[in-house]
Amino acid sequence: MNKILTFFDTLFEHIFSDKNQKKIERVTLWLSIIGFITHLLLIFSKRFELFHTPFEARLLDDPISAIYTPFSIILVYEIYLLIMYLPRSFTTAVSKQFEIISLILIRRIFGDIPKIELDVNWIENVANRQLIYDLVGVLVLYFLIYQFNKHQNKITKKELSIRLKRFVSSKRAVSLILLPVLIFTSIYTAFTWISGLFLASMKESILPDINSVFYNEFFTILILADVFILLLSFQYTERYSQLIRNTGFVICTILIRLSFGTYGLTNILLIISSVLFGLLILRIYHKMESDLLHNS
């Protein structure tokens, strides 16, 4: 068993090394710039009627929508970081999840800007109301994530015992399995979405929602990975506070996953409730740990 865990440790350190991380960072930067310029070129080409799409393409109606593409590429890099941070701690991993969902929300704002109508009553128009919900949601999320990270930094880091090192190695194995699964899922969902565009144009059916492409499946897989890590943690800790904290963070991921099946105010409230629930769990955990340290 130790040899297998050592193999996973070596492989993890190679794949997620500082050298590879910097390479992926540079590639992400250049792809974001190229993607942004390409998106702008497509928008202006369509505006001057150089080509036509057989389906509705709102992301090609307004130059502001071009920001949607680099944000999508940055989100891929954030997912890479999440997989890398997963073995560190439940708290670090869930913090990265909150950052990812906030970036998805910001990306959606840029994608929905062409739907805004300035000449109508803002309250009566669905797209205008959604913009207000999203803007307020981003502000609330930004504050809650700041509070979450602030309390996360208060947790005292302890030296890793042999048992905890084995737990970290087990989580690294989960991350390494998760990486190819997510790569396959991203390719499959992208292909399915593109196919859906053409099928929708031929059958005049509803277009698939671009904002939930991949991330619906991503958070489903992430829930399964979190539950598996939670089960692994039972053999390394019996402390009630840690078990409740880890279980609470899995609930946070479930709430984020549920948000992809909703729209409007319900969507924003589910996302905010996820981060708020995580923050409250972390604060209670921090208080329990402080009291335990004080009484010992």
Nearest-5° Cα angle at 152, 86 to 291: 120
Locate tokens 């972390």: which residue? Answer: 282
User: Tens digits of per-residue pLDDT, 16-35?
Assistant: 999 999 999 999 999 999 99
Record the pTM: 0.88
Whole-angstrom Cα Rg for the chain: 21
Q: What are phi and psi of 186, to 5 degrees?
A: -65, -40
In the chain, how many domains are there?
A: 1
The answer to whether the Cα torsion of 118, 122, 127, 133 is positive or negative is positive
Locate tokens 């840690």: which residue? Answer: 242
The residue range of the domain holding 286 is 2-295
pLDDT at residue 54 in the model:
63
User: Tens digits of per-residue pLDDT, 204-249?
Assistant: 555 556 777 778 888 889 999 989 888 888 877 767 888 899 999 9
Closest CA to 250 of 125, 105, 86, 139: 86
C-alpha 287/C-alpha 154 separation (Å) is 11
